Structure 1
Amino acid sequence: MSSRDFDLNQTRDRLFADPQTPVAAFRFDDRVARVFDDMIERSVPGYRTIVTAIGLLGERLARPHSRCYDLGCSLGAVSLALAQRIQLPGCEIIAVDNAWPMLAQMRRRLAALEPLPTPVRPVCADLADVRIDNASLVVLNFTLQFVPLPQRADLIARIHQGLVPGGVLILSEKIALEDPRQQALFTELHHAFKRAQGYSGLEIARKRAALENVLVPEPLAVHRHRIEQAGFTSVEVWFQYFNFLSLIAIKAPASTGQSHE
Structure 2
Amino acid sequence: MNTGKDAIYSQPQQVGSFRFDQNVAEVFPDMIQRSVPGYNTIVDAIGQLCGTYATDNSVIYDLGSALGAASLAASKYIQAKNCEIKAIDNSEAMVKRCQLHVQAFKSATPIQVICDDLQNVDISNASCVIMNFTLQFIPPEERDDIIAKIYAGLNPGGILILSEKLKHDSQQGNELLIDLHHEFKRRNGYSELEISQKRSALEDVMLTDTFEQHQTRITTAGFSDVVRWFTCFNFASMVAIKS
Specify the TM-score bucket, using the shorter chain as the normaliser.
over 0.9
Aligned residues: 243
CA contact (8 A) 1:88 1:118 kept: no
Distance 2:70 2:114 in 1: 15
Q: TM-score, normalised by structure 2?
A: 0.99
Residue of 224, 233, 239 corresponding to 1:242: 233
Post-superposition Cα deviations, 1:139-168, rounded to whole Å, max 9, x if no partner, equal 100000000111100000000000001110
What 5-or-longer segments of structure 2 have no aligned partner? Answer: none
One-letter amino acid of the structure 2 residue matched with residue 155 of structure 1: I
4+ long deviations beyond 2 Å: none
Deviation at 1:215, TM superposition (A): 0.5
Distance 1:80 1:251 in 2: 24
Residue of 6, 14, 32 corresponding to 1:13: 6
1:77-96 matches, cutoff 5 A: 77-96=69-88
Residues 1:203 and 2:194 aligned together: yes
Deviation at 1:78, TM superposition (A): 0.2
Distance 1:139 1:56 in 2: 12
Q: Secondary structure at the match of 1:248?
A: strand
Distance 1:146 1:9 in 2: 27
Percent identity, please.
49
Distance 2:184 2:121 in 1: 35
2:60 aligns with: 68
Residues 1:189 and 2:188 aligned together: no
1:105 aligns with: 97
130-139 or 84-93: bigger deviation: 84-93
1:19-168 matches, cutoff 5 A: 19=12, 21-114=13-106, 116-168=107-159
One-letter amino acid of the structure 2 residue matched with residue 82 of structure 1: A
Residues 1:216 and 2:207 aligned together: yes
Distance 1:80 1:87 in 2: 14
Q: Secondary structure at the match of 1:123?
A: strand
Distance 1:111 1:139 in 2: 21
What 5-or-longer segments of structure 1 have no aligned partner? Answer: 1-7, 253-261
Post-superposition Cα deviations, 1:76-96, rounded to whole Å, max 9, x if no partner, equal 000000111112211110000
One-letter amino acid of the structure 1 residue matched with residue 227 of structure 2: E
